[in-house]
Amino acid sequence: MSTYDLIEKKGIEKGIVQGIQQGIEQGIENEKYNVVLNAYQNGVSVELIANITNLSIEKIYSILKINDKS
């Protein structure tokens, strides 16, 4: 295998790992959004939602506004 092939293989492997990591992070973020929306719809206070999700109160209101729930 040539040096170019090894470099290319390493680059592809690194790209796959980065893609998987980004996918996991996006999935976690999407789940937090779902928790925010569900909790708010069930009467949980914005302050408690922020505490549970570790998101700022401003971010909670932003999510609610985007989803027309505020």
Domains of the chain: residue spans and CATH: 3-66 (1.10.10)
Residue 9 neighbours by CB under 8 Å, 6+ apart: 1
Per-residue model confidence (pLDDT) at position 69: 63
Of how many residues is the chain composed? Answer: 70
pLDDT means per 10 residues, the chain with 70 residues, are 81 91 92 95 97 95 85
| pLDDT for position 50 | 96
Task: Tell me the three-class secondary structure of the chain, residue by residue.
Answer: CCHHHHHHHHHHHHHHHHHHHHHHHHHHHHHHHHHHHHHHHCCCCHHHHHHHHCCCHHHHHHHHHHCCCC
* Rounded CA Rg of the chain: 19
pLDDT at 5: 78
